[in-house]
Structures are given as structure tokens and as C-alpha cells.
Structure 1
Amino acid sequence: MTSTAPIGVGRRPTLGTAKSAEIFTRIITHGPVSRLDIGRLTGLSQAKVTKTVSPLIEGGYVTVGEHAEHSFPGRPVRPLSVVPRSMIAVGVKVNAEEIFAVTVNLANEVLGSTRRRLKNHDPETTIAAIATSVTSLIEQLGDDAAHLSGVGVSVSGDIDTSTGTVRDSPLLNWTHVPLGTELAERLRLPITVENDVRALAKSEHWFGVGKDASSFAIVTIGAGIGCGIYVNGDVVVGSHGVAGEIGHLPLASSDAVCVCGRRGCVEAVASSNAILDSVRRGRGEPELTLADAIRLAHEGDPTAVDAFEDAGTAIGAALAATVNLFGPEVVVIAGEGVMDYDLYERRFREEFLAHAFGAAANCRLVVRRHTFTDWARGAAVAALREAIAVSAGSPVD
């Protein structure tokens, strides 16, 4: 496989320990923040905080506020903030028909984006398209490319993040694809390959609802049904690299066949494609589009209404099972499918309340639309987190 010319990786902070990475992460996610507050959050002494932060300031990753946030007699307290462009990552979301790619800095700002259609989604074609998109975005960075820390790629399915291998992606029909290795050979850059919903959860932990939550879940509804879980200080990966796959809980009818080949999965009745297939079969109109199915449901067509209500029933039961298992503080319901949330909200909430045990029903539910740019941004955040983890020599919370 032919590689592109080397692109050069920007500097990474020298952290050395997980606690140093924790302090840097606190500044990224909660800045501007004082040394005093960092000490309270991390349990470290002021001397230790100062010792850890000094190299970050000298290296240009952290800056000190020009004006005191508040002060004690003779001792002004100046807030610490991250320097946004000191670390930049490219994030790529892979879908069956197209890929989305963005460049993101430490302030979660999108600096550039691109969208590329795929003639087909076989590994070779997809890898070539990813490499082209990444190279184009890096060229757009100009001098800021010197601060590039890596590339994150998010894919639906069972992902071995440690090796960058897509072990099984039913959506793409991929098995055992060494995506990270192939891209690293082409781009000569650090590559982070992550499950798409887990990448979203990592982004939500740093910059979204999870920033101040002790635990949360993000449930995505669209071409697939996924769930990312944050609990006990980290996003759950699972001993075997699989966790949060609520789309494959056997809560639907055994007559429903899932894209994974199993029967009765939530995804087999609740994904966008499953809903569309149900409406097509029920009406005997194989040419219907998803937009047609949505229109018919809004018009009260019984077949379309039933399809969306079946989806709501399955998703509500799956969410109740998730909440019963680990009791999150908040659940974000996101993805392109939430645009049609009104079509199944009643059944969804009924099923959730019917099966949520006791106080688990008090879990706060937040509905939010996610665009494919948000998915790609999640992949970029996963790459930034990995860069900091490597600099610290251990995982980052």
C-alpha cells in the first residue's frame, strides 16, 4: 500500500503521570480554573499543582489569566486556561455511504470539515477516502499543522481500540479489518480507532452533559441503536472491548432479524432501516423512503404509526434495562433518529417508566439531535484523549 508523504506530528505535553494528565484534563474541561480549585478537585497540594502546571505553561499548552479572578490579601489568584490550538486532532466518522471529517482543537472548536461520498464501503475504498480527507484537512491547517496530535476514526461495531482493528461492523459488513495499521502506514500519524458511540461518550464527558455528572449514558438512535456509558470515572470499554450494546439486547420479537444476524434485537425493530422496512412490508410499497414513512406516520397511517411505536417500545425497554443496571445520573438520547422523536416518545416513555425500577425512574432524560459533524468531533476528542494518555504513560479519565 502506497503511503502519503510524512506529515509530521506536533508536540505533545510531557506529563509523566496519570495525576498530571488529570490536572491538564481539568483545565481543558473546566477552565478558566484557579490552582486552588484544581487542588480541591484533585486532592493535590498547591505546591504539587504548581509543579505540574509549570511545564504546561512553559510549553504553551496552558496560559495564565492576565487579570486576577479573585484574590486574597497580597496573593492574586489568576485562572488557568488551555491554549486551544496547542493540540489539534482530526476526527473521522465512517458511515456506509459517506465519511465526515473535522479538525478540532482543545476548546472543542471545529476548525475545518469535509464530507466525502463513498462509491462503496469496502475497506480499501474507505481507507483511501479517509486518507484523502485527512490530508486535505491537514493542508488547510497551514502552520497549525505543527500542533497536530493524531487522527481519530469512529466506526460502528466491535472495535479493538488497542490494535485499531474493526473486529465486526455489521453496518459496514467488515470483519477483522486492521483499520488503524492501514491508516498509519498511509498517513504516518498516530491513529485512534474507536467505537462511534464510545467516542461520542468521551466527547460528552469532556465537553457536554457529562462534564459535571458523576455518571451518564448516551443512547444513539439512527441507522443503529448504541449506548456509551460513563461510570466510576471513565467511559466503559468492557473486558473484551464490547460494552453498552443495547441495540443487541433481545427485547424485540423473535421474528425480527437484525443486521448482526441474530433475532429479537432492539435494533431489528428500532433502527431507521428497520422502521422503513416494516412500513414497506406493511404497505406493500418497496420504493418508499424514510421520509415517506415519517410523513405517513404523521398523517396517522396505521402501518407507519405501529412501526414507530414498536421502535419506541423496544428503545424504552432497553433504556430501562440500562438505567436499572448502573443508575446513571442523566441519559442523553441523541442521533439523527431523534428528529422523529415525537413519533415514538409516548410509547418510549411509557415503556421506560413501566420497567425502570424504583428511584431509577428519576434519571434525567435529555433529548438532543446529533449531526454527523458531532460524531466526527467525538472521534477527534478520542484522539486528543489518547494523545494525553500516551504523554502521561497511563489512561486518562
Structure 2
Amino acid sequence: MSSPPRAETFPANTPAVSQIFVTALSQGPLTRLELARRAGLSPAAVTKAVRPLIEAGYLVESVDEDARPALGRPASLVRVDSGRALFVGIKVTGDEVIGVLTDLCCRVLLARRLPLGDRAPRAVLATLADLTQELLAEADGLGVHVVGAGVAVSGDVDRAEGMVRYSPFLEWREVPLAELAAMTTGLPVTIDNDVRALTVAEQWFGAGVGLSDFALVTVGAGIGCGLVVHGRVVAGAHGVAGEIGHVTVDPAGPLCHCGNRGCVEAIAGDAALVDRVRAATGAEVTDAAEAAALAHEGVAGAQEAYARAGEAIGRGIATVANLLGPERVIISGEGLAAYDLFAEQIRNSFAAAAFGSAAQCDVQTRPLPFEEWARGAAATAIHSFIGSGSHQ
């Protein structure tokens, strides 16, 4: 077993330091003048903020050879030293644990998977610890310290308290996962809802970079939604902001596991699709892949199930657009494997339900494997390490 990583703190003694670092992290490399413009700070404030970050090795400054002017001093670019620190990100699903080792810029260096035979917290923690130790052993060989870990699970997750309030797929209630995972891994641990974690990664390192307001909608086992409003990932007062999976789109629709009827998830989630295809076709369908295969073969009942799912998802996305007016909605999740079966219905339903200029929202798809969800968990660990949550 590798030795426990040493504790390390990020030199963010003011909000400006965090703000400058996050700007360089997500949008760099940049000149100091451009850093000041994008961060909304004065050049003097940037100079003061950059100094401790350079001294601590988190930022480096170098000449931009590609932009060397004919006269005068060459431009200098400020960028993050991605190898300054490493992070572990872990995504827990119903049947496996996926882990990644990333650098400070959230680039995946290694990825590992371990099967999960038992969903009880004790068994999950043991698997999580084994996977983390594998990644730490690899990190030892790189000679760089792992300074934090993030764990992402589905359901109602209280990041501030480190508590999984309720995870229907894991059948967990009130599990203090952050504390338990920190004890078993020896690392500072941040936990979050898996969709919000993926949203952090998209905000800083993906399709949301530079956007003040966007939404990430995930389709698959559940229907999730992460929200970024005025540059902040929004959890809401009770940690469940963005739950479009439980927006009712058909009051007479099927019963949802939340107790209501006609929720988006009760119509478009994988389990709902499997049930509907099985009922409509009489086929012994056991999972979403088999349901999608029947629809691709042209079986009418299966195609109708996916068409109805697309309509529900489109209405759910329109609800987000009408309420928040995001610049972009990114659709992702494992359900995109069957996206061609309901893409048209999503677009048409969204256009019909979006009010006025909300229909101009840029809706795009972004297929992401589960390793990217684990990367999202690492992004939350980076977010916590920088300490920007109270400043951004």
C-alpha cells in the first residue's frame, strides 16, 4: 500500500487569487491583460494575485513564441502547471466503480474499473478504497502528490455536509460518504451528485467553458440536470435544483419511483423504456440496449416508446429554458447510444414548449463515457482544493 499523501493547501488567501486561477485554469493560457479583462479585475489586482500562485508553482509564465511582435517586448502567457498536483475521481454506479487519476487541469492520466457485487455502503467503500490505492500507487511512480479525491453518486447528495441523503440506484439513505471515504482512502474527499459533478467538469473543462448560464441534461438510467447560473453551479437550498427528471409532463402518465405520475424519468428513463417496450411488444426485454435494438429493427411498439420518451425529454428541457434562459443545453449520458431514436421528438417537443426567444437556446449533444463522470468527480475535488466555491 502506498504511503498517505501529505496534506497540501492551495495559496488562495483572497477571492481574487481563486478567481484568477480558475480563469487561467479554464480559459488559459492568457496574457495578464487578458486575465484581467476576463476576470473583471484591474491589472494591478492580477499582478498581486498571480504572485503567490507563481511562487507556489501553480502558475507559470512563459513567452508566447507564436505571438512575438515585430517591435517591443514579446507577450508573456500565464498558464497552470498541470503537473503541480494530482487528483482522484470516482464514479459509483449500481454495478461498478470507475476511477480516474487526473492532473490539475483535469486531464485523465489513468482510468481503472472494479466490479461492484454488493451495493451496501461497507462493500462500496472497500471497493472504492482498493481502486484508490491502485491509482495512488500509479501516482507514486509519477512523483507527484495526490492532494484530493472526489466521489460522484446519483441521487440527493449534500456536498456541504458530505452526506448521501438518498440514492435510489444504490438504495442508500443518510450515508456520511465523505467522512467514510476520507477514512478509507487517507485523502480529503469531496462528494457530489454525479450530474452536478459532470456539470463542474463541463463548466471548467468542457462545452460550458466561458458560458455564464448553461444546463447539462443527462439521459439514461435516470434523467438528470445540472445548472450553471451566473457562473455558479446551482444546487439550491435543498440540494435538488435541476431535478427535471421529476418534472411532471403527463399527469395521467406512469407512476414514478418518486411517488408522482408522468415524470420525465417515469417516461424516458431506461427502466421506464424497458417496461414500456416489453408491454408494447411482448418481447422478453431485459435492458435498455435490447429495447433500443427492437426500435432500431423497426418494431412499432418499441419505436413509439422512444418517440414518447423524446417528447418528454424535450418538454423537460423546455422547462429549463423557460425558467432560466440558458445560453446552451448540453445533452449527455449513456442514453445517447439510442439518441437517433428520439432526437427528432426532442427537438420538436422542445421547440413547441419553449417560450419566445427561449427556443433560440443552443441545444447540443455530447456523448461521454463513464470515465468522464469520474473525471467530473475529480473536477469537484479540484474545485474544493482551490476553495473557489465561496467566491465563484
* TM over 0.5, shorter chain: yes
CA shift at 1:396, angstroms? 4.4
What is residue 293 of structure 1 aligned with on the other side?
291
DSSP-derived class of the 1:172 partner: coil
Contact kept? 2:125, 2:184, Cα under 8 Å: no
CA distance in 2, matches of 1:9, 1:337: 40
Contact 1:6 1:187 in 2 (8 A): no
Shift of 1:74: 4.6
Secondary structure, counterpart of 2:208 in structure 1: helix
Deviation of 1:291 after TM superposition, in Å, equals: 2.6
Q: 1:31 aligns with which of 28, 38, 53?
A: 28
Q: List aligned pairs for 1:48-59, cutoff 5 A.
A: 48-59=45-56
Q: Is the 8 A contact 2:2 2:137 kept in 1?
A: no
Matched, 1:41 2:27: no
CA contact (8 A) 1:170 1:260 kept: no
Maintained 8 Å contact 2:2/2:140:
no
Letter aligned with residue 205 of structure 1: Q
Following the alignment from structure 2 to structure 1, what is the Cα–Cα distance between the partners of residues 209 and 197? 15
Distance 2:20 2:355 in 1: 37
Equivalent position to 1:65, from 62, 65, 68: 62
How far 1:261 moved relative to its partner? 3.7
Contact 2:29-2:78 within 8 A present in 1 as well: yes
Please report how far the alpha carbon of residue 145 of structure 1 lies from its aligned counterpart in structure 2 after TM superposition.
Answer: 6.0
**TM-score, with normalisation over the residues of structure 2?**
0.95
Matches of 1:383 and 1:254, distance apart in 2: 42
SS of the aligned residue for 2:260 comes to coil
Contact 1:258/1:264, CA 8 A, preserved across alignment: yes
Distance 1:82 1:72, change over 3 A: farther
Moved more, 199-208 or 277-286: 277-286
CA distance in 2, matches of 1:70, 1:160: 49
Residue type of the alignment partner of 1:17: T
Name the SS for the 2:118 alignment partner: coil
Mapped partners of 2:73, 2:44: distance in 1: 15
* Structure 2 spans left out of the alignment, 5+ residues: none
String of CA shifts for 1:107-145, please: whole Å, max 9, x gaps.
221111111111121111111111111111011111546
Note the 1:200-219 alignment, pairs <5 A: 200-219=198-217
Within 5 Å, give how 1:1-397 maps onto structure 2. 7-9=4-6, 11-67=8-64, 69-70=67-68, 74-144=72-142, 146-389=144-387, 395-397=390-392
Give 1:146 deviation, angstroms: 4.3
Question: What is the SS of the residue equivalent to 1:65?
Answer: strand
Q: Displacement of 1:272 after TM fit?
A: 1.4
Preserved contact between residue 138 and residue 145 of structure 1 (Cα < 8 Å): no
Post-superposition shift, 1:49?
Answer: 1.3
- Runs of 4+ with >6 A deviation: none
Instruction: Report the alpha carbon displacement of residue 262 of structure 1 after superposing the two structures with TM.
Output: 3.3
Deviations 1:205-229 (A, max 9, x none): 1011211212110100011000001
CA distance in structure 2 between the partners assigned to 1:174 and 1:252 by the alignment: 28
The amino acid of 1:107's aligned partner reads C
What is the CA distance between 1:101 and its match in structure 2?
A: 0.5
| In 1: Cα distance, 2:64 partner to 2:295 partner | 57
List alignment gaps of at least 5 residues for structure 1: none
Aligned-partner SS, 1:277: helix
Contact (CA 8 Å) 2:139, 2:146: kept in 1 or not?
no
Q: Deviations over 1:149-171 (max 9, x none)?
A: 21100111111101211001112
Equivalent pairs: percent with the same residue?
42
Deviations 1:192-214 (A, max 9, x none): 00011111111111011211212
Q: After superposing the two structures, state which structure 1 stretch, 63-72 or 246-255, moved more.
A: 63-72
Distance 1:381 1:315, change over 3 A: same
Shift of the alpha carbon at 1:275? 0.5
Contact between 1:158 and 1:242, CA under 8 Å: does it hold in 2? yes
Q: CA separation in 2, counterparts of 1:102 and 1:45?
A: 37
Code of the aligned partner of 2:14: T
The 2-side partners of 1:108 and 1:186 are apart by 23
Tell me, yes or no, if the aligned pair for 1:83 and 1:106 is still in contact at 8 Å: yes
Given that 2:211 and 2:231 are in contact with CA atoms closer than 8 Å, whether structure 1 keeps it comes out as no
Code of the residue aligned with 1:300 in structure 2: it is G
User: Could you tell me whether the CA contact under 8 Å between 2:167 and 2:173 is conserved in 1?
Assistant: yes
CA contact (8 A) 2:314 2:348 kept: yes
Query: Letter of the aligned partner of 2:363 in structure 1?
Result: L
Contact map agreement 2:271 2:287 (CA 8 A) in 1: no
RMSD: 1.8
Residues matched between the structures, number: 391
